[in-house]
Amino acid sequence: MIAAQHALAFLLVVVYPIWDYFGTRELRAGTNPSAKLRYYKKTFALEWLAAAAALFIAGPRIFLLSIQLPYIGQLHSFITRTLAAALVIVIVYVVLGPHLQALRNEKVRHSLLKQYNSLSLFIPKTQVEFRWFGAVAVTAGICEEILWRGFLSHYFGRDPWHLGILAAVIISSVSFSSAHLYLGLKGLLGAFAGGILFSLLFILTGNLLVPIIVHAAADLLAIPILRRAPADSSATSP
């Protein structure tokens, strides 16, 4: 299975970012009204296929991570467990807090919608697009965490490269951000920060289900915010 691991890692680190960048050219051109829906469907299918391949190649072990943290050791003592739990809560708040506030606070909603400017070509408009956007949001939460946090963290951090968890987090986060080349520099930096935060959730809890839930929730919370966008049209103008 080592050859299969190498092949999947190469596809994620090298091929996927290139495919995604050139695959969004039609969408970025804005000349074909059906391009958005077609992109949703392709992303949905490809990410589920890749995640299924990762589970077949590496097995369910990629859902669990038990590591020796530098200067801390295992998270077994009461103090380290408490600190880890507190940090998890902070990260979850950082990721989900703005979205939850945006549902109640118009000013926060305006601010968040402005941040969506770089995603304007990907934002759903019709009911069908919103349904597929929701499917892609769940897909991203599950499949991207399986691939970039689960599979690549084990691939680089342990078997076969044994580079250590810190190197694995950096490499997987860089790879994750490069899959968002179409968003420009600001989008790349945001994706890299997200990769670091989701990796920390994986490390601190030892369970991939935590970043999966938080990632999917963050993407899904965008739907009710975006549905209110017409009333906040000034917030999404350049």
**Tens digit of pLDDT for each residue in 180-236?**
888 888 889 999 999 999 999 999 999 999 999 999 999 999 999 999 875 444 444
- pLDDT for the residue numbered 120: 77
Q: For the ranges 62-66, 119-123, 126-130, 145-149, which has the lowest average pLDDT?
A: 119-123
- pLDDT for the residue numbered 1: 85
pLDDT at residue 237 is higher than 60: no
pLDDT in tens, 128-139: 999 999 999 999
Q: Two tokens at 82? A: 């408490």
- pLDDT for the residue numbered 98: 95
Contact 199, 173 (CB under 8 A): yes
pLDDT at residue 71 is higher than 70: no
pLDDT at residue 25 is higher than 90: no
Question: What DSSP string runs through 62-89?
Answer: GGB----BTTTBSTTSHHHHHHHHHHHH
- pLDDT for the residue numbered 72: 53
pLDDT at residue 41 is higher than 80: yes
Q: Two tokens at 7? A: 């092949």
* Backbone CA torsion sign across 220, 226, 227, 228: positive
DSSP state of 141: I
Distance CA(138)–CA(48), nearest Å, equals 11
- HSE-up of residue 171 (Cα within 13 Å, Cβ side): 23
Token pair 């499917």 in the structure block, residue: 135
pLDDT band, residue 23 (cuts 50/70/90): confident
Q: What mean pLDDT comes out for the span 107-114? A: 90
Q: Two tokens at 185? A: 């520099």
